Amino acid sequence: MGMKISVCGKGGSGKSTLVSLLATAAQARDLTTLVVDSDESNSGLFRMLGFNEPPIPLMALVGGKEGIKEKMNQPSILSETNITLEQIPDGYINEKNGLKLVSIGKIHQALEGCACPMGVLSREFLKKLRLGKDEIAMVDMEAGIEHFGRGIDNNIDAVLVVVEPSFESISLAEKIKELAAVINKPLWAVLNKISSDNLIAEIKAKLKSREMETIGVIPYDASVFLAGLNGHTLAQGRATHQAGEILESLLTAKT
Amino acid sequence: MCLSTVYIQSKNRRIKVMQDVAQMEYNQEGYLLIGLLGDQKFVKGRIQSVDFVDDHKVVLEKEGK
């Protein structure tokens, strides 16, 4: 059975970047990789993954927020007990060289109401998703911790929390660790945006004192910075190499 | 979570009927519950309480008890 990994953390810490790096690393290892865009605010993940257009959001299968009442009583793959990658209809999944992307839904309008239906959809999709042994799913979570309250994390196998060098980020990581522990999910920290070895050691120590292990450090990589600035695909470089080591550690931890 | 969880109350027992309920339609005998993913269930009874804060809980009670 494949692994479902969620990537959490403070807004702007680098969740989408880490997801993209891990997905690229998994692709290089011939794993079929499904990225689940579960962040209803972020709009550019598809570009980082090298797609020209985002997939149609899964919310559209139940009518989207505007048409939900008309369409929700019609059957779709979301009414199935199990969902395999092959069952996801064309248009709702982007595919390129073993890398796949689905999106739960996005907020488009001011005053359109809450994102609760997307939370339910995320939770149910991840619960029903069945992966083969060479398949892996990476979930780009919304920033913060509300997804724990919505039960989305109940259906994943491991949590990665991205930590940037700020007290707020470390504090939030500690809260995420506590929430993950309640539902018995293993958690590791990934450090991001930290350039000095001394600072890396200091932040690892801070996390250790809060009972969090660091599984890897994403080094500064100018190509990642430029790709992020211009909305381009991440290129192979120091950061993707390091993400590969994080992925190896995760897969080893699972087996 | 804004989707509702519907319970039926009968004497001393409260049983969960359905969660993630997106819509309830009344007819003369009870309510058709429609879930976000298209699941449906009809339940006889009348509304006893709706809690908009705690779990968006809707409690129905059986009539004529």
Is residue A183 within 8 Å of residue A154, measured between CB atoms?
yes
| A218 contacts A239 by C-beta, under 8 angstroms | yes
**Is residue A72 pLDDT above 60, yes or no?**
no
Using an 8 Å CB-CB cutoff, list chain B residues near A68.
Answer: 22, 36
Residue A80 — very low, low, confident or very high, per pLDDT cuts 50/70/90? confident
pLDDT at A173: 96
Q: Is B10 on the interface with A (CB under 8 A)?
A: no
Give the whole-angstrom CA distance, residue A145 versus residue A13.
14
Q: Give B13's Cβ-side CA count (13 Å radius).
A: 6
Using the predicted structure, report yes or no on whether residue A73 has a pLDDT greater than 70.
Answer: no
**Rounded mean pLDDT of chain A?**
88
B39/A79 CB distance under 8 A: yes
pLDDT at A105: 87
Among the partner residues A74, A120, A150, nearest to B38 by beta-carbon distance: A74
Of A55-64, A105-114, A170-179, B5-14, which one has max mean pLDDT? Answer: A170-179
The answer to whether residue A74 scores a pLDDT higher than 70 is no
Is any Cβ of chain A less than 8 angstroms from the Cβ of B32? no
Number of domains forming the structure of chain B: 1
Contact B38 A150 (CB under 8 A): no
Say which CATH number the domain at A121 has: 3.40.50.300
Q: Over range A115-138, report the average pLDDT.
A: 91
> Which structure tokens are listed for A91?
């248009």
Q: What pLDDT, on a 0 to 100 scale, did the predictor assign at position A255?
A: 55
- Calculate the alpha carbon distances from A66 to A126, A178, A186 in Å: 23, 36, 37
Residues of B whose CB is below 8 A from A117: 2-3, 22, 36
| Cα A163 to Cα A9: distance, rounded to the nearest angstrom | 7
- Residue A193: give the domain boundaries: 3-254
pTM reported for the whole predicted model: 0.88
**pLDDT for the residue numbered A183:** 94
- Predicted confidence (pLDDT) at residue A160 exceeds the cutoff of 70: yes
- Domain residues for the domain of B43 are 4-61
Does B53 contact chain A (CB < 8 Å)? Answer: no
Q: Sorting pLDDT into bands at 50, 70 and 90, what band is B65? A: low
pLDDT in tens, A181-208: 999 999 999 999 888 999 999 999 999 9
Mean pLDDT of A48-71: 79
Chain B's closest residue to A61, CA to CA, is B37
**Extended strands (E) in chain B:** 4-10, 13-26, 30-35, 40-44, 46-51, 57-61
Helix (H, G, I), strand (E, B) or coil at B57: strand
Higher local confidence (pLDDT), A119 or A211 = A211
Of residues B1, B2, B22, nearest to A72 (C-beta): B22
